Structure 1
Amino acid sequence: MTSIEQAQATTRWRAVLLAAVAACAACGIIYELALLTLSTSLNGGGIVATSLIVAGYIAALGAGALIVKPLLAWPAITFVAVEALLAIVGGLSSATLYVMFSFVGGSLLMLALGTALIGGLVGAEVPLLMTLLQRGRTSGATDTGRTVANLTAADYLGALIGGLVWPFLLLPHLGMIRGAAVTGIVNLLAAAVVSVFLLRRAVSPRQLITALCALAAALGLLATLLVSAQDIETSSRQRLYADPIIAYRQSAYQEIVVTRRGGDMRLYLDGGLQFSTRDEYRYTESLVYPVLGAGARSVLVLGGGDGLAARELLRMPGLEKIVQIELDPAVIQLARTTMRSANGGSLDDPRVQIVTGDAMTWLREKPQSFDAVIVDLPDPDTPVLGRLYSTEFYALVSRALAPHALMVVQSGSPYSTPTAFWRTVSTIKSAGYAVTPYHVYVPTFGDWGFALARRGDTAPRPVLPRDAPPLRFLDQSVLDSATVFSPDVQTRTLEPSTLENPRVVEDMRHGYD
């Protein structure tokens, strides 16, 4: 081989190696995102858990780089071994942790262990790749800098690709278990390419065949997981719910589960119960009718993608327009199909306009004036939801209120999460509202509270509209008593929750302790 041909061959294998770098970096970031997704779905995904996973992953990267130093004398075979282990550990991580959670219970320790293993293996990649790229070269500072630049660029490009593929492709279409398994298979294929291009020059044919057989065995393991993932996931998920699951979606935002036993249908988002058809009318009537005042013709509903609030609103004579802002289109799709019997097909009524998007963004960009605003959002148990229970959010809502219009906010339980409940009331007040809190008993939830608010200094009195249809639970006497709080849940004034300091998220965590 001439010097020119040798240089061309060297250029080719280095290009292949950089492509493998990008592929492996994409796999590494996907594994970390899978762990973060698992933390959210299985353990609630609090800021503490998220911080520990991210910080632990970064620390493990450094530890892996140090641990691999004694093996740099055999960079090619070590790199293939590391990638094979990474593919197996990362590819099996979601299935292992999901099954463990279903049968044993959530464990932050197991998530931390998975983070350490994956981070350590990913951290070992860069020293090995740098050694491979520099092999056979006597480099000056400039040449070494170019090598580092190429390696870093390929690594970060792969991370970008992985960061986009997980939320937009793998998670919504394959789910956590199959998504991680497919990522592991890509990891193995990248290792196989490196083996073919590099190991054939660095090891004996027997060692090369052994390495390829090991990769093939790992590939067979992940392929088996991929084939059986549906059964594993279905069996494990069903153990988490007392009633049979009739619908499941893993959207880009959350895990959505609908169960049914007899006539009782229930909706769960990331494991949290949203309603039961046994008694949701108590919650829905208490949320909707007090905010309508006298003759509301237009209503803005923030959240409420199950269509239950819209169902009650459509029973009101004279109502002309409902605008429903729901972040997750998968919830809307299930509301129109699986949950249609519960909401009466309300979201297909021509008076209901569905907008899929973030409520805060919509309020900032497209303010309209409404006679009433219903804020029916999940409890603020994550930072993402906490921003929708902030002073800034309620200030934006005020832009959508017509003069003398009312706003109602579902505010959690004054008994189970009292600090979060009164924090929400105080936060609404801090945005310039006068607030009347009230609460009712919903058997599946327990004591549940709401906040009725109006801009200004005069707190509104919860009253039923004169033209309200016959209701199953709510009447004026029930509503009057709902504003009375017993001594064990009496009024508290707290610092507001803000975007800068989302206190209500921490309140929720302590409320369930």
Structure 2
Amino acid sequence: MIYRPVPARLPVPAGLGRLLVLITVFVCAACGLVYELELVALASYLIGDSVTQASVVLSVMVFAMGVGSLLAKRLRRRAALGFAAVEAVLALVGGQSAMALYACFAWYGRAWPALVVFSLVIGVLIGAEVPLLMTLIQRVRRQDAGGAVADLFAADYVGALVGGLAFPFLLLPMLGQLTGALVTGAINAVAGGALVLWVFRGDLSTRARRVVTAANVLVLALLALCSVLTGPFERAARHAVYGADIRVAVRTELQELVLTGGGTAGRPLSLFLNGRLRAVGESSRYHEALVRPAMAGPHRRVLVLGGGDGMALREVLRHPDVTGVTVVDPDTAVVRLARSHPGLRRLNRDSYEDARVTVVHSDPFAWLRRISAGQEPYDVVIGDLPGPEGPGGAKLYSQEFYGLTARWLAEGGRAAVHAGSASGSPHDFWTVDATLRSVGLTTEPYRAGAAGEEWGFVLAARDPDGAGLPEVSGAGARGVARPDGAGEPPSTLMHPRYGE
């Protein structure tokens, strides 16, 4: 039996009612896309490998949207009440998804199951919106199905555009991931509840109106409570991950920096970037292993790409014959903290106060592209970058980036880059080695570790004489044997794993 919507008794003219439905479609689409992007961004930060996380979230959600559309067929006879219920649940689940995902990572060490569950639930709820809204817009004013679908999807797609742009340019910079998701949930609840309780209140019994009102008030109250508790929640989650003696915790637009220890408990001062250990105590095995092999040769002029914490710079400045160091890091907040915080200044030994240091706040890729032709090449280039598995770092491990690096490397000069983990992420590690080789550099892969962490590095050089690089040793570093087939140049201009 075919269901045909009965015209609704509206408190407003039909034209205004139709406009309000389309505005609600616009708002709900924007909120839905923010939920998707929030899950992708947080999963990439917590788990790494942004390509995989985006693929999982988007594919699972699109599948779940299809399931939700089918399930919504059962709700069309009571479309207004069904839509109110869907929006209330979606606002609550989507708004709290970021906080729940972060909690699973902090207290259970696993975010993957929560990521899949939230992607499924949010996808089902988003998928149920369109059939219900289609029914509601037809109840306002009957029109041909093609015209109604065109209007509905036009509002939906424009809303998705606004949500996609608002997430990186408005919500993240101003509110952060957790509060941004909660505010989005509140907007979602208000939009859905207002449409049903005002425009379609004639479809609801007195009891149903009270239930919808109470449900939306409860959802908004829970989201407001979570918003108030985001500060204590983040502190508790960080303590669960890093321990109770956190000295500094700063999340910038690019990364999270956490400094722990150094107090009366006797735990050494430790530096974490994006959850990964980078320095322990006065010595830093990571930065020693990254910098020292590259400095075993001419090193008058040195370029440090990334490294805003000043630790790689400290290792470079151990060499008195260095005449100039240029540090290119886009994160002004981390550099400012490294210059001012006593704990970080002690770790980097006030390296930024050295007169030989020049700091440039710019994206390393963009900066390398715009260096003037008369620029003197560098003897050493240090890539103290987040790692190939980290979010937002794909272009910094591409063939184009390494080609630009090689262009400004002096004859016989050396470059050292962080390449992930040789044992934990062998594909990533050997792809970095292969990409460096593809731009004409001779490479020597190696690794080092401390406090249960392992880091992989690749030392590369412009080697016109074919002398090759000596085996890496010292600073806790040891060479890594290249397996059969590793080091083959990638067949594409930019390796697909890291392409953008």
Q: Is the 8 A contact 1:256 1:267 kept in 2?
A: yes
Match of 2:131 among 127, 130, 139: 127
Q: Is the 8 A contact 1:255 1:269 kept in 2?
A: yes
Change (3 A) 1:257 1:162: farther
- Residue 157 of structure 1 pairs with residue 158 of structure 2: yes
Match of 2:400 among 387, 392, 401: 392
User: Which AA in structure 2 matches 1:33?
Assistant: L
| Counterpart for residue 362 of structure 1 | 367
How many residues are treated as equivalent by the alignment? 479
Q: Is the 8 A contact 1:394 1:428 kept in 2?
A: yes
SS of equivalent residue, structure 1 residue 252: coil
In the aligned structure 2, how far is the partner of 1:415 from the partner of 1:58? 34
In the aligned structure 2, how far is the partner of 1:195 from the partner of 1:414? 56
| Counterpart for residue 76 of structure 2 | 72
The structural deviation recorded for 1:333 is 3.3
Worse overlay, 353-362 or 65-74: 353-362
In the aligned structure 2, how far is the partner of 1:403 from the partner of 1:170? 46
| Counterpart for residue 501 of structure 1 | 495
The structural deviation recorded for 1:403 is 3.7
User: Which AA in structure 1 matches 2:339?
Assistant: R
Q: How does 1:46-195 map to 2 (within 5 A)?
A: 47-140=51-144, 144-195=145-196
In the aligned structure 1, how far is the partner of 2:498 from the partner of 2:465? 24
SS of equivalent residue, structure 1 residue 73: helix
Worse overlay, 308-317 or 31-40: 308-317
User: Which AA in structure 1 matches 2:138?
Assistant: Q
Worse overlay, 125-134 or 263-272: 263-272
Q: Deviations over 1:5-38 (max 9, x none)?
A: x998222222222222221111111111121123
Query: Which structure 1 residue ranges, 5 or more long, are not aligned?
Result: 1-5, 464-475, 506-513
Change (3 A) 1:432 1:212: same
The structural deviation recorded for 1:176 is 2.8
Change (3 A) 1:79 1:180: same
Change (3 A) 1:130 1:283: closer
Match of 1:381 among 389, 413, 422: 389
Q: How does 1:125-274 map to 2 (within 5 A)?
A: 125-140=129-144, 144-242=145-243, 244-262=245-263, 264-274=268-278
User: Which AA in structure 1 matches 2:191?
Assistant: A
In the aligned structure 2, how far is the partner of 1:436 from the partner of 1:136? 70
Q: Is the 8 A contact 1:94 1:176 kept in 2?
A: yes
User: Which AA in structure 2 matches 1:334?
Assistant: L
Change (3 A) 1:302 1:60: same
Change (3 A) 1:164 1:423: closer
Q: Is the 8 A contact 1:424 1:504 kept in 2?
A: no
In the aligned structure 2, how far is the partner of 1:324 from the partner of 1:106? 36
Q: Is the 8 A contact 2:461 2:469 kept in 1?
A: no
- Residue 352 of structure 1 pairs with residue 357 of structure 2: yes
SS of equivalent residue, structure 2 residue 314: helix
Query: Which structure 2 residue ranges, 5 or more long, are not aligned?
Result: 1-9
| Counterpart for residue 299 of structure 1 | 302
In the aligned structure 2, how far is the partner of 1:88 from the partner of 1:490? 51
| Counterpart for residue 334 of structure 2 | 331
In the aligned structure 2, how far is the partner of 1:19 from the partner of 1:335? 47
Change (3 A) 1:504 1:491: farther
Q: Is the 8 A contact 1:90 1:184 kept in 2?
A: yes
Q: Is the 8 A contact 1:452 1:462 kept in 2?
A: no
Change (3 A) 1:284 1:219: closer
In the aligned structure 1, how far is the partner of 2:27 from the partner of 2:331? 30
Change (3 A) 1:184 1:448: closer
Change (3 A) 1:16 1:353: farther
The structural deviation recorded for 1:183 is 1.2
In the aligned structure 2, how far is the partner of 1:111 from the partner of 1:422? 28
Q: How does 1:428-443 map to 2 (within 5 A)?
A: 428-437=436-445, 442=450
Q: Is the 8 A contact 2:95 2:183 kept in 1?
A: yes
The structural deviation recorded for 1:64 is 0.9
| Counterpart for residue 341 of structure 1 | 346
Change (3 A) 1:33 1:420: closer
In the aligned structure 1, how far is the partner of 2:258 from the partner of 2:94? 26
In the aligned structure 1, how far is the partner of 2:206 from the partner of 2:91? 24
State percent identity of aligned pairs: 39
| Counterpart for residue 3 of structure 2 | none
In the aligned structure 2, how far is the partner of 1:123 from the partner of 1:418? 38
Change (3 A) 1:453 1:129: same
What TM-score do the two structures reach when normalised by structure 1? Answer: 0.82
| Counterpart for residue 466 of structure 1 | none
Q: Deviations over 1:324-380 (max 9, x none)?
A: 222433332332333222223333555433333432232223354323211222332
| Counterpart for residue 409 of structure 2 | 401
The structural deviation recorded for 1:460 is 5.8
Q: How does 1:421-500 map to 2 (within 5 A)?
A: 421-437=429-445, 442=450, 445=453, 449-459=457-467, 478=474, 485=479, 489-492=480-483, 494=486, 495-496=488-489, 500=494
Q: Is the 8 A contact 2:34 2:167 kept in 1?
A: yes
Change (3 A) 1:129 1:370: same
Worse overlay, 178-187 or 412-421: 412-421
Q: Is the 8 A contact 1:390 1:496 kept in 2?
A: no
Change (3 A) 1:251 1:499: farther
Q: Is the 8 A contact 2:416 2:457 kept in 1?
A: no
| Counterpart for residue 469 of structure 1 | none
Q: Is the 8 A contact 1:31 1:90 kept in 2?
A: yes
| Counterpart for residue 43 of structure 1 | 47
Q: Is the 8 A contact 1:38 1:94 kept in 2?
A: yes
SS of equivalent residue, structure 2 residue 229: helix
SS of equivalent residue, structure 2 residue 366: helix
Q: Is the 8 A contact 2:327 2:359 kept in 1?
A: yes
Q: Is the 8 A contact 2:420 2:456 kept in 1?
A: yes
SS of equivalent residue, structure 1 residue 116: helix
In the aligned structure 2, how far is the partner of 1:345 from the partner of 1:169? 35
Q: Is the 8 A contact 2:87 2:188 kept in 1?
A: yes
Q: Deviations over 1:374-394 (max 9, x none)?
A: 122233224743543343322
Change (3 A) 1:499 1:120: farther
The structural deviation recorded for 1:158 is 1.8
The structural deviation recorded for 1:55 is 0.4
In the aligned structure 2, how far is the partner of 1:387 from the partner of 1:260? 34
User: Which AA in structure 2 matches 1:406?
Assistant: R
SS of equivalent residue, structure 1 residue 300: strand
Change (3 A) 1:134 1:451: same
In the aligned structure 2, how far is the partner of 1:434 from the partner of 1:162? 46
Q: Deviations over 1:464-510 (max 9, x none)?
A: xxxxxxxxxxxx9948x96x75xxx43445123566435699xxxxx
User: Which AA in structure 2 matches 1:279?
Assistant: S
